[in-house]
Amino acid sequence: LSFTTAWSTNAVSICRSCNLEQVTRIERSRRYALEMAPGVEAEAAFTDEQRAAFAALVHDRMTECVYATRLETFTTDTAPAPVVRIPVMKEGRKALERVNREMGLAFDEWDLDFYTQLFREDIGRDPTNVELFDIAQSNSEHSRHWFFKGDLTVDGQKVDHTLMDLVKDTLKANPNNSVIGFKDNSSAIRGRVISAVLPENPGQPSKLEPQERDYDILFTAETHNFPCAVAPFPGAETGAGGRIRDTHATGVGSLVVAATAGYCVGNLQMEGHAAPWEDTSFQYPPNLAPPLQILLDASDGASDYGNKFGEPLIQGYTRTFGMRLPSGDRREWLKPIMFSGGIGQIDHRHLEKDEPDVGMIVVKIGGPAYRIGMGGGAASSMVSGTRDAEMDFNAVQRGDAEMAQKLNRVVRTCVELGDENPILSIHDQGAGGNCNVVKEIIYPQGAEIDVRSIVVGDETMSILEIWGAEYQEQDALLARPESEALLRSICDRERLSMAVIGTISGSGKVVLFDSREQQEAAAAGKAAPLPAVDLDLDKVLGDMPSKRFDFVRSTDEREPLELPPALTVSEALKRLLRLPSVASKRFLTTKVDRCVTGLVAQQQTVGPLQITLADVAVIAQTHTGITGAACAIGEQPIKGLINPAAMARMAIGEALTNLVWAKVSALEDVKASGNWMYAAKMGGEGAAMYDAAVALKEAMVELGIAVDGGKDSLSMAATAGGETVMAPGNLVMSAYVTCPDITLTVTPDLKLPGEGVLIHVDLSAGHRRVGGSALAHVYDQIGDESPDADVDLLKRGFNAVQDLIGRRLIASGHDISDGGIITAILEMAFAGNTGATVDIPALEGEEEVDVFATLFAEELGLVIEVAPANQDEVLRTLSAAQVPATVIGQVPSSPSSAPLLSVAVAGVPVLEGESMPAWRDVWEESSFLLEHMQRTETCAAAERDGLKHRKEPSWNLGFTPSRTAHELLTASSKPRVAVLREEGSNGDREMAAAVWAAGMEPWDVTVSDLLQGRAKLDDFRGIIFVGGFSYADVLDSAKGWAAAIRFNEALKAQFDAFYQRADTFSLGICNGCQLMALLGWVPGPEVGGVMGEGGDAAQPRFVHNESGRFECRFSTVQIDDSPAVMLRGMEGTRVGIWVAHGEGRALFPSSSLLDSVLSSNLAPIRYCDDDGAPTETYPFNPNGSPAGIAALCSPDGRHLAMMPHPERCYMMWQMPWAPKEWRERMDASGPSPWLKLFQNAREWCQEHPQ
Please pick, among 435, 1070, 1112, 1245, the residue that the annotation labels catalytic.
1070
Q: What's the one-letter identity of residue 308?
A: K
Residues 275 and 329 sit within 8 Å (Cβ to Cβ): no
How buried is 1049 (Cβ within 10 angstroms: 0-12 exposed, 13-18 middle, 19+ buried)?
exposed
Give the per-residue pLDDT at 1037: 81
909, 915, 917, 920: CA torsion to nearest 10: -30
Give the per-residue pLDDT at 376: 47
Residues 1203 and 1164 sit within 8 Å (Cβ to Cβ): no
How buried is 722 (Cβ within 10 angstroms: 0-12 exposed, 13-18 middle, 19+ buried)?
exposed
Topology given in CATH for the domain delimited by 748-948: Phosphoribosyl-aminoimidazole Synthetase; Chain A, domain 2 (3.90.650)
Please pick, among 1207, 1209, 1243, 1245, the residue that the annotation labels catalytic.
1207
**Is 748-948's fold the same as 966-1247's?**
no
pTM of the model: 0.95
Give the per-residue pLDDT at 373: 66
Pairwise CA distance, residues 1250 & 1247, whole Å? 10
Mean pLDDT by 10 residues, the chain (1250 residues): 75 84 87 81 75 84 78 80 95 94 88 93 95 87 79 94 96 98 97 98 98 99 93 94 97 99 98 96 96 98 97 99 97 98 99 98 95 58 54 66 97 99 97 92 97 92 93 95 99 97 98 96 94 94 85 93 97 99 98 99 99 99 99 99 99 99 99 97 95 98 98 94 97 99 99 98 97 99 98 99 99 99 99 98 90 99 99 99 99 86 98 96 98 96 96 96 98 98 96 99 98 97 97 84 92 96 98 97 93 92 97 99 99 99 97 97 99 98 99 98 99 98 95 99 96
Give the per-residue pLDDT at 78: 80
H or E stretch covering 131: helix 129-138
As a three-state string, the secondary structure of 1200-1240 is EEECCEHHHCCEHHHCCCCCHHHHHHCCCCCECCCHHHHHH
Q: What does CATH list as the number for 966-1247?
A: 3.40.50.880
C-alpha distances (whole Å) from 695 to each of 170, 639, 700, 731, 1208 are 11, 14, 9, 12, 42
Alpha helices in 185-230 (DSSP H): 225-230
Give the per-residue pLDDT at 54: 87
Residues 1040 and 17 sit within 8 Å (Cβ to Cβ): yes
Mind giving me the DSSP string for 260-305? EEEEEES----TT---TTS-TT----TTS--HHHHHHHHHHHHHHH
1070 catalytically annotated = yes
Cβ density class 1152-1188: b for 16+ within 10 Å, e for less: ebbebbbebebbbbbbbbbeeebbbebbbbbbbbbbb
Please pick, among 224, 814, 1205, 1243, the residue that the annotation labels catalytic.
1205
In the chain, DSSP finds a helix count (H) and a strand count (E) of 41, 47
161-169 long-range Cβ contacts below 8 angstroms, 24+ apart = 162/546, 163/689, 163/690, 163/693, 166/693, 166/694, 166/696, 166/697, 167/674, 167/693, 167/696, 167/697, 167/707, 167/710, 168/707, 169/697, 169/701
Give the per-residue pLDDT at 377: 47
271 catalytically annotated = no
Residues 140 and 150 sit within 8 Å (Cβ to Cβ): no
How buried is 329 (Cβ within 10 angstroms: 0-12 exposed, 13-18 middle, 19+ buried)?
middle
SS3 336: coil
SS3 982: coil
SS3 429: coil
Give the residues across from 632 on adjacent strands: 735
Where do the structural domains in the chain lie, given as residue ranges?
748-948, 966-1247
- Dihedral (CA of 276, 277, 283, 287) sign: negative
Pairwise CA distance, residues 344 & 215, whole Å? 10
Mind giving me the DSSP string for 1141-1167? ESS-EEE-SSHHHHHHHHHTT---EEE
Q: What's the one-letter identity of residue 142?
A: H
Give the per-residue pLDDT at 622: 99
Pairwise CA distance, residues 716 & 678, whole Å? 5
